């Protein structure tokens, strides 16, 4: 069963219920945030990086610790090019299925892998890489409570085109263009599921969005937009 038609409705229900997560923002300008889960991947991520470099777009990568350890050179290149980094758990295991100590260890292991791959001090990574997207978007109020208590920032999504099912580049792009609006947070995948199309999808969707005057921001800028709106 495809859930793609349900995600826009799910987002609109969940976002106001869990306002301490980053789902999207409401900027005055046409800004959008482009993010990628499940990497790094030895083939798909380098292809994606070349497309992003060609387009002059900064993106956001939510990494699996196991993949970072397996492909440190790819992770280092993503970091070197200035993209924003986040955590996706160590092995893509659903957070609600994990005991608190196991979840905390999973996130810490991912930070340690990033520190090693990107040649940064661990305390720097612990300070600067603290955005967390739960695998498959699965969380509970307890999950969020734990993340906040450990000084992590939960990041979700507003546009989920279900690219991991590989429905084809055109269908993924059509889904995005139908749902996107200023402040949207788009989720794509550069891992084993969906990654084979991610470079072409990104090229197509960025060009389409740029024709509509969209500019691309990172997760930190989206947090600022969200907090500015809430305090305004």
Kindly report the CA angle at 91 between 35 and 161, in degrees rounded to 5?
A: 35
Sort strands 215-217 and 153-154 into parallel, antiparallel or unpaired.
Answer: unpaired
Coil/strand/helix, residue 26: coil
- DSSP state, residue 90: S
The SS3 call for residue 220 is: helix
Written as six digits, the tokens of 60 are 């956001």
Among 41, 189, 190, 197, the active-site one is 189
DSSP 8-state assignment for residue 95: G
Helix axes 100-118, 72-80, angle to 10 degrees: 70
Catalytic residue among 37, 90, 131, 190: 37
State yes or no: is 189 an active-site residue.
yes
37 is catalytic: yes
* Active site (catalytic) residues: 37, 189
């Amino acid at each position: 069963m495809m859930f793609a038609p349900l995600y826009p409705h799910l987002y609109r229900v969940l976002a106001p219920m869990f306002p301490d997560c980053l789902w999207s923002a409401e900027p005055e300008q046409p800004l959008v945030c482009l993010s990628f889960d499940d990497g790094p991947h030895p083939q798909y991520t380098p292809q994606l990086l070349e497309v992003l470099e060609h387009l002059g777009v900064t993106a956001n990568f939510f990494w699996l610790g196991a993949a970072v350890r397996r492909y440190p050179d790819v992770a280092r290149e993503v970091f070197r090019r200035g993209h924003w980094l986040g955590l996706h758990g160590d092995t893509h295991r659903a957070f609600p299925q994990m005991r608190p100590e196991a979840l905390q260890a999973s996130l810490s292991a991912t930070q340690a892998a990033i520190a090693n791959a990107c040649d940064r001090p661990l305390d720097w990574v612990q300070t600067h890489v603290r955005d967390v997207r739960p695998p498959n978007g699965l969380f509970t109020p307890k999950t969020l409570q734990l993340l906040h208590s450990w000084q992590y920032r939960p990041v979700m999504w507003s546009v989920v085109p279900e690219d991991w099912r590989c429905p084809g580049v055109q269908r993924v792009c059509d889904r995005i263009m139908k749902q996107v609006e200023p402040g949207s947070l788009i989720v794509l995948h550069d891992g084993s599921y969906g990654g084979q199309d991610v470079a072409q999808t990104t090229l197509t969707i960025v060009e389409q969005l740029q024709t509509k005057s969209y500019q691309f921001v990172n997760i930190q800028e989206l947090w600022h937009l969200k907090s500015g709106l809430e305090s305004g």
